[in-house]
Each structure stands twice: as C-alpha cells, then as structure tokens.
C-alpha cells in the first residue's frame, strides 16, 4: 500500500472521533493525548495513532483494524470463536456459525464486528455480520464475512 496523503487531525475533529469510538465500542481513552493522523492510501483511508494504523474507514464508518482492536480491547461488537476456528481465520476464512461460541446480541446484520479467540480474548479478524449476533452461535453456514485478519497486507502495513 502506498500513502497518498497524510494529515494530522485537528483537536475538534479528534474529540468527535474519540466520542464516536467510545459510543460504538466502549472505552477509547487509550487514543486520548496521542497523535492522530488521517491517512489516505491507494487501498483505503486510515487513522494512524502515534504512527500505527489502528483505525480504518470502511463503507464510510471508522472501525478498528485488528491492531486497533488489540489495543482498544472493545467490549462491544465481539464474536468469540473456538480454538478450532483460529487456523482458518488467520488465513482469511469467513466465520462459520458452528465455530462461534458467543456473540454480542446487539450485533445487527451488516454490522462490522471484531472476531476474537476464546482462550485469550485476542482479536484475530474484522468482519461483517451476515446474521444478527443473537443467531450466530451454532448456526449452520457463514455468520461473518472476513474483511481483514492477522497476517494480511493491512496487518503488515506500516508507515513509510
């Protein structure tokens, strides 16, 4: 990915952004008093926090990258998968219902979600819910379409 433009976010916009993140995911205090930059690349728009791509813009909404989810550790919009699903997820596979142990019941179809593994609660991927969170555990078929995962080019993307 190549960076096309990079601008520091103004304080007024920074407060609104942190407010939006807090509303969607809970606590966003880890982003306060950090250098926030809006970065446009040839493949998408990102928000760098102290030089790391921790947030990205997808369908007009700001959402954490996997690295951002690891730092934020949000309590909302989480889909927890069993250990057997991990090897598939880190290769970019979609999340199948039988591999889901629990899901935030407030998740609606079409929402962006954070996929975490059960053992340590660490984020593995970001995806789009194909069904409501309350229906995910144990459901047959795909439940979440994978968008970004550990090891993909966004995961490896660093400032240059």
Going residue by residue through the chain, which has 160 residues, state the pLDDT in tens, using 9 for 90 and above.
788 989 998 888 888 887 777 777 766 667 777 888 999 988 889 988 888 888 888 888 888 999 989 988 888 899 999 999 999 999 999 999 999 999 999 999 999 999 999 988 999 999 999 999 999 998 999 999 999 999 898 888 875 4
Superfamily per CATH, domain 3-72: Pre-PUA domain; domain 1 (3.10.450.120)
The pLDDT assigned to 71 comes to 86
For 121, counting Cβ atoms within 10 Å of its Cβ (0-12 exposed, 13-18 middle, 19+ buried), the class is: exposed
Distance CA 31, CA 91 (A): 29
Distance of CA 99 to the CA centre of its chain: 19
In this structure, are residues 62 and 48 in contact, taking their beta carbons and an 8 Å threshold? no
pTM of the model: 0.88
Q: Provide the pLDDT for residue 13.
A: 84
Residue 141 gets the label, from left (phi > 0), alpha (psi -120 to 50) or beta, of left
Q: 26, 76 in Cβ contact below 8 A?
A: yes
Q: Which sign, positive or negative, has the C-alpha torsion 17, 34, 154, 119?
A: negative
Rounded to whole angstroms, the Cα distance separating 47 from 63 reads 10
Structure confidence at residue 61 (pLDDT): 81
The residues spanned by each domain of the chain are 3-72, 78-155
C-alpha atoms less than 13 angstroms from C-alpha of 137 in its C-beta half-sphere: 11
Give the CA dihedral 98, 126, 147, 103, nearest 10 degrees: 30
The reported pLDDT for the residue numbered 159 is 55
Q: State phi, psi for 39 to the nearest 5 degrees.
A: -120, 130
Answer whether CATH 3.90.1150.10 is correct for domain 78-155: no
78-155 shares the fold of 3-72: no
Residue with tokens 């880190």: 90
């Amino acid at each position: 990915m190549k960076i096309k433009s990079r601008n520091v976010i103004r304080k007024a916009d920074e407060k609104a952004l942190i407010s939006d993140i807090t509303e969607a995911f809970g606590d966003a205090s880890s982003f306060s008093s950090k250098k926030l930059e809006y970065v446009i690349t040839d493949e998408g728009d990102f928000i760098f926090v102290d030089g790391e791509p921790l947030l990205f813009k997808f369908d007009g909404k700001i959402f954490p990258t996997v690295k951002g989810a690891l730092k934020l550790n949000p309590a909302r919009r989480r889909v927890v998968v069993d250990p057997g699903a991990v090897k598939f997820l880190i290769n970019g596979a979609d999340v199948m219902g039988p591999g889901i142990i629990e899901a935030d019941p407030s998740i609606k179809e079409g929402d962006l979600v954070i996929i975490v593994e059960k053992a340590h609660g660490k984020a593995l991927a970001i995806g789009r819910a194909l069904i409501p969170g309350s229906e995910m555990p144990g459901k047959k078929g795909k439940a979440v379409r994978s968008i970004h995962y550990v090891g993909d080019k966004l995961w490896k993307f660093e400032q240059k």
